[in-house]
Amino acid sequence: MAYLVNGNDIFKAARENHYAVGAYNTNNLEWTRALLRGAKETRTPLLIQVSTGAAKYMGGYKTVKDLVLNEMNNMDIDVPVILNLDHGDFESAKECIALGYSSVMFDGHNLPTDENLAKTKEIVKLAHERGISVEAEIGKIGENQGADGGELASVEDAKTFVAAGVDKLACGIGNIHGVYPEGWTGLNFDRLKEIAEAVPNEPLVLHGGSGIPQDQIEKAIQLGIAKININTEFQLAFQAATRKYIEDKMDLDKGNKGYDPRKLLRAGTDAITDSMKEMISWMGTAPIDSKESSVQFDEASLNEE
Ligand code: 13P
């Protein structure tokens, strides 16, 4: 029977040993399977997360949790899996705690700091009573805007939020969600170093992990980043492979029912797993053991009526 873990030991070990564990957003059934497959085949821990928008699209937070657990059972997943709410507001965080997510991010960055802190403490209390992990955000992670990213996180806020009991801390250090703009000035390593020294045992989180050059990812991990959030990278991988399928006119092959979504989405789904494996190698994610593993796609399911 599949179960979720809160990941606190996993991320602490990552920070201590200078590697990172990927936190990947799911967007639908195919994404969920692609991520579980990547984790199973690399024998690495997996954090699957869902944004509020993606959860709405998929039918709500409960649907997402049921999907993840059911697929873990179907795919016989035997690596640790964490299910995290990504960028939740106060109500969403409470809902996911009640539903039994194993981790929630309460993102109060747009609130005045005092209110963000008070609400974070409430979420920490509710979550910790149930053994659920909490992530908070300080500073502002940029959103597809200026080349210098969002507002930098302050060292004082880092200390305050860690003292409030959060298990992971997302810091604005020049990182941006989505595709990085031309002329992006890069991560602010000076600020990351100051924060990492101020909270030496706290796993730090890098949002906007897509499109950051490998050397910057590696340096950030050396300085204290233990969780890297990735969504856009896999969307682009999915898009490119799906575009190729269509440009190669595979969807027009009526004899083979190339238009059937089970076939049309297959190349894109495989591309997500491939891209995930590349990121795992960049992050140096430690496998849980050395057992060989592979996931066989059920080919027959493509042609059954
Ligand atoms: P990207 O889409 O830029 O990879 O960011 C993902 C993220 O940080 C989710 O919280």
pLDDT at 147: 65
Determine contact, residues 29/64, Cβ cutoff 8 Å: no
Give the active site residue among 9, 78, 86, 260. 86
Shortest-distance atom of ligand 1 to CA 178: 3
What CATH number corresponds to the domain at position 68? Answer: 3.20.20.70
Task: Answer whether residue 257 is part of any domain.
Answer: no
pLDDT at 76: 96
Is any atom of ligand 1 closer than 6 Å to the C-beta of 235?
A: no
Task: Answer whether residue 88 is part of any domain.
Answer: yes
- Give catalytic status of residue 251 as yes or no: no
Q: Which domain holds residue 216?
A: 8-233
pLDDT at 148: 64
Is any atom of ligand 1 closer than 6 Å to the C-beta of 84?
A: no
Report the domain count for the chain.
Answer: 1
**Candidate from 27, 143, 231 with most ligand 1 atoms within 8 A of CB, to mutate:** 231
Q: Write out pLDDT tens, residues 184-213.
A: 999 999 999 999 999 999 999 999 999 999
What is the CA(251)–ligand 1 centre distance, in A? Answer: 30
pLDDT for 292 beyond 90:
no
Amino acid at 127: A
Q: Write out pLDDT tens, residues 114-144.
A: 999 999 999 999 999 999 999 999 988 877 6
pLDDT for 152 beyond 60:
yes
For 258, counting Cβ atoms within 10 Å of its Cβ (0-12 exposed, 13-18 middle, 19+ buried), the class is middle
Task: Answer whether residue 32 is part of any domain.
Answer: yes
Task: Answer whether residue 42 is part of any domain.
Answer: yes
C-alpha span between 10 and 107 (Å, rounded): 22
